[in-house]
Amino acid sequence: MKKYLLIGVSAFVLGAGSMAYVSQQAIASAEPRAKTYRMLGLFGDVLDTVERQYVTDVDDTKLIQAAIDGMLTSLDPHSGYLDPENFDDMRDQTRGEYGGLGIEVTSEDGVVKVISPMDDTPAGRAGIKAGDYITAVNGESVLGLTVTEAVKQMRGRPGEAVTLTIAREKSDPFDVKLVREVIKPRSATAKMEGAYGVLRVSTFNEKTTDEAQAAFAELRAKNPQMKGLILDLRNNPGGLLDQAVAVSDLFLEGGEIVSQRGRDPRDVERYNARPGDITGGLPMVVVVNNGSASAAEIVAGALQDRKRAEVVGLTTFGKGSVQTVIPLRGGMDGALKLTTARYYTPSGRSIQKTGIEPDLEVASSRDEAQAIANRAFQFSEASFRNALNADEGKVRRGAHEPAEAPPEAFDTKKDFQLARAADVLRYGSVAATPKLPKPTAKMAEVVGSKARVAEVKPPQTTQK
């Protein structure tokens, strides 16, 4: 039976049969098992009471599906139940073609939150941003709904309009009118930025590696004097594990790319690169931000750890877990989306909650730099109350002096993060690249029981 991973489609085998012995251990396990049976009986009693006494007739199937989903979502933000319809939708999405708005969402305390919009989709063109809250669809509140229920309201026939009500930090709620499309996102595109190529990978579906390889080959053929490559993974919400491994492999000559480790410490699966770098050894820089998640973090972490590329931008989202999608009765009863492992970079780093930190921290705008200085405006895996803990007590970097940001004279029509990535290629390394003065920003500080805001002034530096 085929199993899907939200960051991969490789099989992940859980468990095996075990011999039963009449022993003290078996006797000891009888009590918690009896408690489980009692709780299942309680569930049956509650269901029976609801059926008989609720104010209107109820649908048993929907109630039980909601109970299953609630059980799974209580584990962590990425586990859940997919009914048959949503299981089909998930398979369409991993194939790289489906209907909708082109937006990756999750749920936080009953509120639908945007992880990232996809390139060249209705959501991306409308300016929806990572961290936005969707509070209503066509005027009907989605507060308290599961992600599955909210997504059902946003999907529909291509060509039909849908209005999303958006809540954004430091802004009044506003409506965005979108028209549903058949989403056929090109997961990889390429262009030139001066003397350097830019390979943009927006998601990891079944077509990503082929599209990335073809896009780079076409760009290289037209620009044989290309001096380096920028791999742009900003706002890439992730996708299939095998595609993240394959894209990493395009630029590596060998060695480990990623490992995944399950509940049993001995249950480790490693993925390694094969010889052959499609760039022929061109210098590389990877650009990321807090919308770069999951499979995108695998690629950034692999290239960073293998010293193949330096990373520019902002600390990534921090989703370091693997979800196995386990079909039930061949998908007839839907599927379980269950967190089954953590993934680790080649150096052994688990980035769960902490993310991949860039070698050169660069904000795309002065407003974004201000957000870095104020922890309240950060959106990441660490924002979820029931997220898996980071390994060994590691924590995500909190509010700090803001990153580099565009100077006052910088042309706002240009991409500052790409410009700084090109600077790193031009100078040969992050260490050799002249640093810009840190922008003035206000950091929230807590003094005693009162909070105050302090202005952070940049140090006196000069650019060489």
Catalytic residue among 202, 294, 321, 364: 294
Known active-site residue 305: yes
Cα Rg, the chain, nearest whole Å: 24
Query: Are 252 and 279 spatial neighbours (Cβ–Cβ below 8 Å)?
Result: no
**Closest C-alpha among 184, 60, 62 to residue 122:** 184
Q: Could you tell me the CA-to-CA distances from 440 to 339, 369, 401 in Å, in that order? A: 41, 9, 9
Query: Are 242 and 206 spatial neighbours (Cβ–Cβ below 8 Å)?
Result: no
Catalytic residue among 113, 207, 319, 337: 319
Buried b (16+ CB within 10 A) or exposed e, 403-431: bbbbeeeeeeeebbbbbbbbbbbeeeebe
Distance (Å, rounded) from C-alpha 392 to C-alpha 382? 15
Per the listing, tokens 């012995």 go with 21
Residue 233: both structure tokens together: 């993974």
Query: Cβ of 152: how many Cβ atoms within 10 Å?
Result: 16
At a CB cut-off of 8 Å and minimum separation 6, what does 404 contact?
360, 361, 362, 363, 369, 420, 435, 436, 438, 439
Buried b (16+ CB within 10 A) or exposed e, 242-276: bbbbbbbbbbbeeebbbbbbbeeeeeebebebeee
| Residues paired with 271 in a beta bridge | 258
Q: CA dihedral defined by 359, 214, 103, 178, rounded to 10 degrees?
A: 130
Catalytic residue among 89, 305, 359, 423: 305
Residue 72: both structure tokens together: 């799974």
Residue positions annotated with a catalytic role = 294, 305, 319
